[in-house]
Structure 1
Amino acid sequence: MRSRTILAGLLAAALMASPLPVRAVQPDEIMSDPAKEARARELSRELRCMVCQNQSIDDSEAPLARDLRLLVRERIAAGDSDRQVIDFLVARYGEFVLLKPRFSPHTLLLWLIPPLALLGGGLALWRYSRRRRGTSVDDASSKLTEEEAARLARLIAAEPPAEEPR
């Protein structure tokens, strides 16, 4: 009985600690047709809030995001396809309205920078490790004077050092 109580408490704590998605869609925005509403929600998750810039319009509570959500629903109600709605908003607000920009010539750099940065970092690490591997103890000991080499040999052999004149 006690283990059930503990388990129930842990489950309740886990549910309270888990983040639940918060949607900014107001009840008056929701379309009566569930299929169209699902399309509107999916499109809203792909569009950037121009005020928040790091949230979709589905998540944002900004007035402009609300206007965009209403515009998406208006276009869907008018019979536009998903592609037509997206194209309309891109024509009106530019590529920035898309959370995931399209692959095109003017977004080429945006798409290529992350893999090129990873490739460059990997190449730099590879060159660094090759350079480190080339330096060894033998190379360092060959540059010692005779006196330093003798002292190093004594230290390695764990002999107590002879007194050196000051």
Structure 2
Amino acid sequence: MRRLWLMIAAIAFLALPSGYTAAQTADSASMANTQLADPAQEAEAKELMESLRCLTCQSQSIADSDAEMAVDMRHLVRSRMQAGESPEDIRQWLIERYGDYISYAPEAGGITWPLYAIPAFLVLIALGLFVRRLRRS
């Protein structure tokens, strides 16, 4: 029985990805859940984290999610803020890396302009049909 447990432990150890250590995840988790020393900087970091979508959960911000990806992203935001980067620089870097989907408020431009233009166009068509119907009456 003891051999069986040793074999299972050896297989589990060998199945870990290379470079994976408990210290790495503990380090990421500690920085992800530790507030920055500067209250103003922490407030900016929280505001930024609330505006970024967790790529694993997709319905939660990285501030609310407990997914490993969200933990890593919170760590990234706080460590970059601590290094002196602005929230907008961090947001732009994340958008370049993961795409517009990561932001709850994507910028109008490039590929997202139809999201803003189509509803306005439909409202104009509806208004034109309404005015046309009123003139006939």
Which TM-score band applies after superposition, normalised by the shorter structure? 0.5 to 0.7
Counterpart among 116, 119, 125 of residue 114 in structure 1: 119
Give the drift of 1:78. Answer: 1.3
**Structure 1 residue 28 and structure 2 residue 33: aligned?**
yes
Distance 1:51 1:123, change over 3 A: farther
Q: Counterparts of 1:10-159 in structure 2 under 5 Å?
A: 28-131=33-136, 133=137
User: Unmatched 5+ residue regions in structure 2?
Assistant: 1-30
User: Unmatched 5+ residue regions in structure 1?
Assistant: 1-25, 134-166
AA aligned to 1:113 is I
Distance 1:128 1:100, change over 3 A: same
- TM-score w.r.t. length of structure 2: 0.65
Measure, in 1, the Cα distance between the counterparts of 2:64 and 2:134: 45
Sequence identity (%): 39
Distance 1:27 1:66, change over 3 A: closer
Q: Aligned-pair RMSD on alpha carbons?
A: 2.3
- TM-score w.r.t. length of structure 1: 0.55
Measure, in 2, the Cα distance between the counterparts of 1:123 and 1:54: 37
Q: Secondary structure at the match of 1:113?
A: helix
Number of corresponding residues: 107
